[in-house]
Structure 1
Amino acid sequence: MTSFFEQVHTVGRVKPRGEAVQFSWPGVYFEGRFRGTGVGVVLDCAAADYDVQVDGATVATLVTPGDTTHWVDGLRDGEHTVRVVKRNDTPGDISTFGGFVAAPGGAVLNGPAPRDRQIEFIGDSLTVGYGNVSGTRVCDPEQLKRTTNTDVSHGALAARQLDADYQINGLSGLGMVRNVAGICPDLTYRTHYDRALLSVDGDVWRNPGTWRPQIVVVNLGSNDFTDLTPGEPWTPETLAAAYRASYGAFLRTLRTRYGPATALVAVGFDRNAEHVRQVVEACNDAGDSGVHYWYLDTSGLDFLGCDGHASARDDRLIADRLVPFLSSLLT
């Protein structure tokens, strides 16, 4: 009998727990193969939403499914693929995936092979796909949860165009040194980056040795440069200096983690663009030619996602603009 880890191709930061895994980041996905007329998806999650896809088509969206086995039945008898993907970001909660179960008379087969390419996306709400399928800028908290779909974020779309496995390590509202509107001043994105379980202080994700991305894309800074609020310790000058210094240190941490063969892409967007360009220039001047600058062109974007974020249409446009640049780094 094959084990969970032989039956499931898992992509994203997870923490093994027996014949199951726990996870927190958005966009984590699980792929499998089975023979028969149906498949069960074993989940324990009361916070996040999931899409279930069979043979490439979405057959169910599970809204905060709880502790359940969701069945997809009535398929033609034969071999099929199945994919389960976490749609939204729920950093304060821990989710559990327990694998796939075959319908009577069928069997779960060994999972598909990993893709040859791997891309990691690091960022904030734009990377998550915050409210991207809402169709409106005005969303209440419940609408935001239901209309965030990381699986159609620009990173996920770009990676699939390039036939790459991907991690979407995005956290809404957080920045490199300062968070949106100055909230939670003792925490930043960098506080959480090393974790598998985001709500567990001191947790550390253990790379099983299979995650070796050819490209890491970093898009952090939109929250850092939101308007300063009264009582914050920053001036525009000290904030910019701290941002550039911390960004450079973060890129050096990524270089140490992944080695010289990994291309690091720093995204310039909105108010952070010139600061990011300077950070990349400094890395290049220091001898790291594997750090690259990419400017996120916002022309033609409608920003019709929740709270003025990118819409699903915008995500497609951004992905189409990003893919040629990433492709040039893969050849």
Structure 2
Amino acid sequence: MRFMMLAVGLGLVAASAFTQAPPLAITRIADTPATLRALPMQVGGRTVEDGAQLLRQWPGTYFESAFHGSTIAFAVGKGRVHLTARVDNGTPASLVEPKPGLYRIAGLTPGNHRLRIDVVSESQAEATAFGGIFAPAGTTARPLRARARRIEFIGDSHTVGYGNTATSNTCTQDQVWSTTDTARGLPGLLGARYDADYRVNAISGRGIVRNYDGFAADTLPQAYPYATLDHAHPADDRGWSPQVIVIALGTNDFSTPLRPTERWKTRDALHADYQQTYVRFVQTLRARHPAARIILWSTDLADGEIAAQIAQVHARLRAAGDTRLSYAPVHKLGFTGCHAHPDTADDAAIADAVARAIDADPAAWKG
């Protein structure tokens, strides 16, 4: 978990570009750096320093600060993004595609508070920027309590929360984007359940060796070493030491038929490549985090092919001597989110299944 202090470096003009959810009163304001002080900030997820801002592209990024006062501000940078802001345990307020600028939350009860800004949308097309959290006059910084528990999530759209708040399976791409909420999906649910910091390294449509319908792009293991998907910034994971790693990959490898132009000529060949690559990927994670409890989970889609292949990966890893490893199959989901993806009720069922695997290990949080 990183602690940052950033200075304001944005051109700011008065306007309004958000969808507000009570009780927070959020306004976009004009201000100058001289009237604000950057607060220490806890950052969840991979980020890259870019002058006075942080760039981020993997989903589920969040930013937190603790303060004393009745007013707090934060700076939004470039890029299309859906954010939620929450003070303490209050109702999150949404900012959908906010313009770059400074945003103020005012009218809080004077006292000690904690502000959390979550990125809930997926950002495959480009990295977006966050400019920091700031104290206006009358607001002072307070120490941040570092959470003792840490979870890393690795996966595809089922981990991202693709279209999980939609009311229909039929969605345009804009509707998918606007109804995706990683904070209400598996990462947010388990993070809240265990009061854990978390990191989400997941990309919709990607697999272990094969992406959805065979489309050409990095697979998840190929993208994993980078902080941004263009490979411009290698990930700096120093200081990140998860006690639990939750992985779900295989939906995109197996949910569509092989095309004649793909390199696997038979399903058996795909299975062999998948198992070998998945085992190697998990062993790489194990080398970095030798004490972590690693949990593989799967749905029962694709007539059970996904679950059967992940069970084989689990068996091979166990046979190779990995004893801090669990497999959590999940059955009978509703898939009423966009394009037959898990909805928030499914996300809760998945979280319960993964939590049972975590709770079965008395030493899960001792790493």
Length-normalised TM-score, structure 1:
0.92
Q: Deviations over 1:203-262 (max 9, x none)?
A: 3111231x111111110000000222343232211111100010011011101121x211
Tell me the equivalent position of 1:201.
231
Residue 98 of structure 1, aligned match among 124, 131, 136: 131
State whether structure 2 residue 80 is matched by structure 1 residue 50: no
Q: Is the 8 A contact 2:164 2:338 kept in 1?
A: yes
Q: Distance in 1 between matches of 2:322 and 2:192?
A: 28
Structure 1 residue 27: Cα displacement: 0.7
Tell me the equivalent position of 1:179.
211
The 10-residue stretch of structure 1 (3-12 or 80-89) with the greater mean CA deviation from structure 2:
3-12
Residue 307 of structure 1, aligned match among 339, 344, 348: 339
Report the secondary structure of 2:91's partner residue: strand
State whether structure 2 residue 64 is matched by structure 1 residue 31: yes
Q: Distance in 2 between matches of 1:3 and 1:197?
A: 21
Q: Deviations over 1:95-136 (max 9, x none)?
A: 2222112233222334x2221111111000000000000111
Report the secondary structure of 1:9's partner residue: strand
Q: Distance in 1 between matches of 2:64 and 2:125?
A: 25
Structure 1 residue 269: Cα displacement: 2.8
Tell me the equivalent position of 1:226.
255
Residue identity in the other structure for 1:315: D
Report the secondary structure of 2:55's partner residue: strand
Residue 183 of structure 2, aligned match among 132, 141, 151: 151
Q: Distance in 2 between matches of 1:108 and 1:142?
A: 38
Q: Is the 8 A contact 2:163 2:343 kept in 1?
A: yes
| Correspondence 1:120-131 to 2 at 5 A | 120-131=152-163
Tell me the equivalent position of 2:25.
none
Q: Distance in 1 between matches of 2:251 and 2:78?
A: 30
Q: Is the 8 A contact 1:268 1:277 kept in 2?
A: no
Structure 1 unaligned spans of 5+ = none
Q: Is the 8 A contact 2:47 2:54 kept in 1?
A: yes
Q: Is the 8 A contact 2:150 2:196 kept in 1?
A: yes
Residue identity in the other structure for 2:253: D
Tell me the equivalent position of 1:138.
170
State whether structure 2 residue 358 is matched by structure 1 residue 326: yes
Q: Distance in 2 between matches of 1:268 and 1:316?
A: 14
Q: Distance in 2 between matches of 1:42 and 1:108?
A: 17
Q: Distance in 2 between matches of 1:162 and 1:105?
A: 33
Structure 1 residue 76: Cα displacement: 1.7
Q: Distance in 2 between matches of 1:102 and 1:64?
A: 23
Residue identity in the other structure for 2:251: S
Structure 1 residue 30: Cα displacement: 0.8
Label 1:194 to 1:318 Cα distance change in 2 as closer, same or farther (>3 A): same
Report the secondary structure of 2:251's partner residue: coil
Tell me the equivalent position of 2:310.
276
Tell me the equivalent position of 1:285.
319
Tell me the equivalent position of 1:296.
330
State whether structure 2 residue 38 is matched by structure 1 residue 8: no
State whether structure 2 residue 105 is matched by structure 1 residue 72: yes
Tell me the equivalent position of 1:213.
242
Q: Is the 8 A contact 1:124 1:173 kept in 2?
A: yes
The 10-residue stretch of structure 1 (321-330 or 72-81) with the greater mean CA deviation from structure 2:
321-330
Q: Distance in 2 between matches of 1:78 and 1:70?
A: 20
Q: Deviations over 1:46-104 (max 9, x none)?
A: 31100000122235211121311111111122221100000011122112222112233
Q: Is the 8 A contact 2:57 2:123 kept in 1?
A: yes
Structure 1 residue 19: Cα displacement: 4.4
Q: Distance in 2 between matches of 1:281 and 1:304?
A: 32
Residue identity in the other structure for 2:184: V
Q: Distance in 2 between matches of 1:269 and 1:312?
A: 15
Report the secondary structure of 2:175's partner residue: helix
Report the secondary structure of 2:100's partner residue: strand
Residue 223 of structure 2, aligned match among 175, 184, 192: 192
The 10-residue stretch of structure 1 (2-11 or 175-184) with the greater mean CA deviation from structure 2:
2-11
Q: Is the 8 A contact 1:32 1:81 kept in 2?
A: yes
Structure 1 residue 277: Cα displacement: 1.2
Label 1:6 to 1:80 Cα distance change in 2 as closer, same or farther (>3 A): closer
Tell me the equivalent position of 1:63.
96
The 10-residue stretch of structure 1 (307-316 or 55-64) with the greater mean CA deviation from structure 2:
55-64
Structure 1 residue 268: Cα displacement: 3.1
